[in-house]
A and B are shown apart, each in its own frame.
Chain A
Amino acid sequence: MKTSRMPSMGRRQFMQTSAAAGALGLAAPGRLALAQSASPVNLHTWSAAVDTVKSHLTAFEEHTGIPVNYGNSPWAQYREGMVTKFVGGAPLDMMWVSDAWLPEWAEAGWIAPVDDFDFLMKYNAEAEDFCTNSMTYDGRQYGLTYYTDFMAFLYDEEKLKEAGFDAPPETWDEVVEQSLVMKEKGIAEYPMMLAMAQESWLIEFMSALVYSHGGRFVDDNGDAIMQHEGNGAVEALRWVVDGVRKHGIISPACVETGELSGLKAFASGNHAFALVAKYRLRMLNDPEQSQVAGNVKQAMMPMGSNGAHDTVGWMRFHGMSAQAAADQQRAENTAKLIEWFGGKADGEYKFQKLLFLDIGAGFGVKPLFEDPEIRAAYDAYGDVDMIQKQQAQARKKDVITPWFGEWSETNGSAWQSAILGNVDPKAALEKSAELWAELKSEY
């Protein structure tokens, strides 16, 4: 049998060949060389818009030659999973961060500020203030917008007309007034939909109520003021308690109603008013998903007696890990990826726009409101000017601190206890404030 053999290569010859190959590699066109030498950026997100992320990543890799390792995990386990990754030292450069975790992760030294990169900071000029504020902790900015949204007050126009009202309520008192008429006319048993179950959305619902009552949970020094009459929180909680127990315009089941269940109930036509995330407007006006499609409109957030039309906004942003920041090359590559997603790619806010057109997620940069495609998409289910106006009055959550997670559990229970009639609203918030002070001193 005839066999062929590779010609043998001596040590000297091998070294010469290797050196030549190396030199050839260095001399190759820049992009190819970068692709071969750049270490990959490790990106981890929660499992949302995965296909959109992947296609945008492919474009990034083609554009820069920087490879990216992409992984994702469900939102429900994301925070705990990320903390474990941080503690365990798993390779991680860029990740999605919720504004609620920013102080905790920054204090622990897991994520790093990105404000040393001027090419990232230039986008602040076009971003909503509450977005930049929500990404800032202790004077440092930790990322660029992934998506943002705010809590909106929605109403069913048909039910409103049936009750004899031409315009939606301007104040929370008017919400009660109109709801009572609807209740009396049998239009809805519980006209106002509030989802007050213990879940991550709860703080957004509470904050919207508190801000629109002209209040805050804490002052500029971070000290609790929620327990004091006249600071908005007691009034907001009292309004909810009265809505459930005195007027009967909010279902007592609100304490077991989560955001999604509440949304479904509103989409089924059970309610006339609802406090929901603005991006839900698209689903509510989609005939395939909602029985009240076409009737759902947005109004400015009703005001409390000392309030304004303020609401709460929230942020999810692209952040950089401390381990990436510690290595100049990794940091630069990561910052480029952050810009590709949170800033402009090929001269436009491509990812924020894609995300909006794909799943209706809100964007944090003002110029996109003028984009014809975005306006056309919004016009199909909402009033873009109203959305822009309300977004301009969105404020960041003032309770976001390293101890937010621990406080939030107790605060949620306190609000629920008041709604159930176990304690007076003021007493409930005193308990909440007491824990706030305790945790603040502990940290």
Chain B
Amino acid sequence: MAVLMAVAVFPILYSLWLSFFRMKLTRPNRTPFVWFENYTDLLGNELFWVSVARTVTFTVTSVAAIAVIALLVSLLLNQDFRGRRVLSTILLIPWAIPYVANALMWKWIYDSGYGALNGVLYQLDFIDKYMVWLGDQDKTIFLIANAFVWKEVPLATILLLVTLKSIPADLYQAARVDGAGIWQRFTHVTLPSMKPGFMLVMIYETMMAIRHFDLFFILTEGGPGDASHVLSWHIYVETFRNLSFGSGAAMSYILAIVTFVLAYFIIRFLGRRV
């Protein structure tokens, strides 16, 4: 209990306390108590809203792609075919790679000068000259989302596969007896039965995407311009570069509240139908 208080409860309460101060480490002698000013200031901060928009784009794109790809892969792995075990093992590789290693790998892949992506596309004659990837602001957030999806799909697949395996065979037999075809069995038996798995995937991946930092730090540092300036990056810059612990703590609380609210709605929306 004492350990829990020291490593979890105290930091949470202390950071909440900090968020009411204009606390900047580089101004150690001036830390006025400002009540909710750190929170209200954010509402008028243009870059904060830019970061919210970027976070929404990244999260929606990533979670949707993860859900769809994981569903397709889990359906495939649910079938009996030769090499299924090998494929399942290969699928786990991205999951086993640490986030930072994953980010560094994608940095090499996307590099406009010597990256593998340009190399492959060029050799296949899809492009006639090397393209700018991460430096193109229209592509940046989606390319980072792609790297995130690659890392997250295995876990989502496993969660959905477990759900698939738990669907009773009787339901499919009954549907066949009723004359349901493949598509009808999928939409009326498989999908509704997978809702608990989907709920888990949606909540987990939404939380991971909203808070994700590593890829943004290593691939773009929030750039180019503010093209990948997401909320987690904004918090990092405010807290650890500007050393503004007060406003950084306030932003972190906002992020935490948003995450909780989203999780609540996902549970309500999907949970109601489970």
Contact = CB atoms under 8 A, between A and B. Distances in A.
Given A83-B243, A108-B26, A253 B113 contact: yes
Given A256-B135, A413-B226, A422-B137, A107 B221 contact: no
Interface string A250-268: 0111111100010011001
Interface string B1-33: 000000000000000000000000111110000
A108 B226 contact: no
B221 A420 contact: no
Given A108-B27, A108-B28, A256-B112, 14 more contacts: A83-B243, A87-B25, A105-B26, A107-B26, A199-B221, A256-B224, A270-B113, A405-B242, A409-B242, A413-B222, A413-B223, A416-B223, A420-B224, A420-B225
A270 to B, nearest CB: 7
21 contacts: A87-B28, A107-B27, A108-B26, A108-B27, A108-B29, A197-B221, A198-B224, A251-B132, A253-B132, A255-B225, A256-B134, A256-B220, A256-B224, A257-B113, A405-B26, A405-B243, A410-B47, A413-B223, A413-B226, A420-B137, A422-B225
A198 B137 CA distance: 14
A89 to B, nearest CB: 11
A417 interface: yes
A409 B237 contact: yes
Contacts of B133: 256
B111 interface: yes
Given A87-B25, A198-B222, A406 B132 contact: no
B129 interface: yes
B113 A416 contact: no
A417 B222 CA distance: 12
Contacts of A189: 129
A109 interface: yes
Nearest to A428: B225
B200 to A, nearest CB: 36
The majority secondary structure among interface residues of chain B is: loop
Nearest to B138: A420
Residue in B135, B229, B242 with the greatest tally of chain A CB atoms within 10 Å = B135
B239 to A, nearest CB: 10
A80 interface: yes
A255 B28 contact: no
A104 B116 CA distance: 42
A304 interface: no
B82 interface: no
A290 B224 CA distance: 28
A410 B48 CA distance: 13
A402 interface: yes
Contacts of B129: 189
B50 to A, nearest CB: 10
- List 6 tightest A-B contacts by C-beta distance, closest first: A255-B224, A256-B135, A253-B112, A417-B225, A253-B135, A253-B132
Interface of A: 80, 83-84, 87, 104-105, 107-109, 189, 197-199, 251-257, 261, 264-265, 268, 270, 402, 405-406, 409-410, 412-413, 416-417, 419-420, 422
Nearest to A254: B135
A80 B204 CA distance: 32
Contact of A198 (B112, B132, B223, B240): B223
A207 B93 CA distance: 45
Contacts of A83: 25-26, 243
A295 to B, nearest CB: 19
Contacts of B273: none
Given A87-B28, A107-B27, A109-B28, A197 B240 contact: no
The majority secondary structure among interface residues of chain A is: helix
Nearest to B221: A198
Contacts of A197: 221, 223-224
Contacts of B111: 261
A256 B240 contact: no
A261 B237 CA distance: 23
A80 B28 CA distance: 14
Contact of B243 (A80, A265, A412, A419): A80
Contacts of A104: 26
Nearest to A414: B225
Nearest to B131: A253
A170 B9 CA distance: 63
Contacts of A420: 137, 224-225, 227
A405 B135 contact: no
B272 interface: no
A268 B204 CA distance: 44
Contacts of A87: 25, 28
B135 A261 contact: no
Nearest to B28: A108
Contacts of B223: 197-198, 255-256, 412-413, 416
Contacts of A409: 237, 241-242
A255 B135 contact: yes
B135 A252 contact: yes
Interface in B228-250: 229, 237, 240-243
Contact of B224 (A265, A268, A410, A416): A416
Contacts of B242: 405-406, 409
Nearest to A410: B47
A199 B25 CA distance: 21
Contacts of A413: 222-223, 225-226, 229
B31 to A, nearest CB: 11
Nearest to B222: A198
Nearest to B137: A420
Given A87-B25, A261-B113, A422-B137, A416 B225 contact: yes
Interface in B191-241: 220-227, 229, 237, 240-241
A406 B222 CA distance: 15
Contacts of A416: 223-225
A420 B136 CA distance: 8
Contacts of B224: 197-198, 255-256, 416, 419-420
B92 to A, nearest CB: 31
Nearest to B136: A252
A154 to B, nearest CB: 18
B104 to A, nearest CB: 13
B56 to A, nearest CB: 20
Nearest to B27: A108
Contacts of B241: 405, 409
